[in-house]
Amino acid sequence: MGRDGKQGDVRMKTLIVDDELVSRKKMEKIMSHYGEVISVKNGKEALRAYTEALTDIRVFDLITLDISMPEMDGTEVLLRIREIEQAQGISKKYRVKVLMLTAKADRITVLESISAGCDDYLKKPFTIESITTKLKKIGLIA
């Protein structure tokens, strides 16, 4: 829902990163209510999309990032994004919000995500309600 309680009111740019097609499509459908959505299936594509967006007029407001992916897992992607932000001089206040997605919400996985610099995490399977709650918690919607 948007700032005035209507869906579609908030215009944010979201990058969805998930190697599982069903999860990626479900997240695309939910996040399209909030604005522009770009989705990719692995960490390398995520870093490319993120760095390209930095040169655009409008960078990503949110990245949903699956933790368990082949080649480069979500935690490694997140660490690289935070390194890029630091190198670019982007303060913590203005950095992209990152919501980690995980099928396993064990303590170690959650702590690793937080240590890497995520804003919050969400256990799969997710719902529109659980995503809305997290978007409110991290300050992207009212």
Distances (CA, A) of 18 to 15, 42, 65, 86, 113: 10, 6, 6, 24, 16
Asked if residue 139 belongs to a domain, the reply is: no
**Residue 105: is its pLDDT beyond 90?**
no
Q: Domain for residue 138, yes or no?
A: no
Query: How many distinct structural domains can be found in the chain?
Result: 1
Q: Cα(123)–Cα(103) distance, rounded to whole angstroms?
A: 6
Secondary structure (3-state) at 110: helix
Residue 100 lies in a domain: yes
Domain assignment present for 17: yes
Residues spanned by the domain of 81:
12-132
Residue 141 belongs to a domain: no
**Residue 94 in domain:** yes
Asked if pLDDT for residue 36 goes beyond 90, the answer is yes
pLDDT at 102: 87
Which two structure tokens, joined as six digits, stand for 102?
A: 């995980």
Q: pTM for this one?
A: 0.90
Residue 87 lies in a domain: yes
Q: In the prediction, which pLDDT does 108 show?
A: 87
Assess if residue 115 is contained within a domain.
yes
Q: CATH number for the domain including 17?
A: 3.40.50.2300
pLDDT digits (tens, 9 = 90+) for 49-76: 999 998 877 799 999 999 999 889 999 9
Region 24-49 average pLDDT:
96
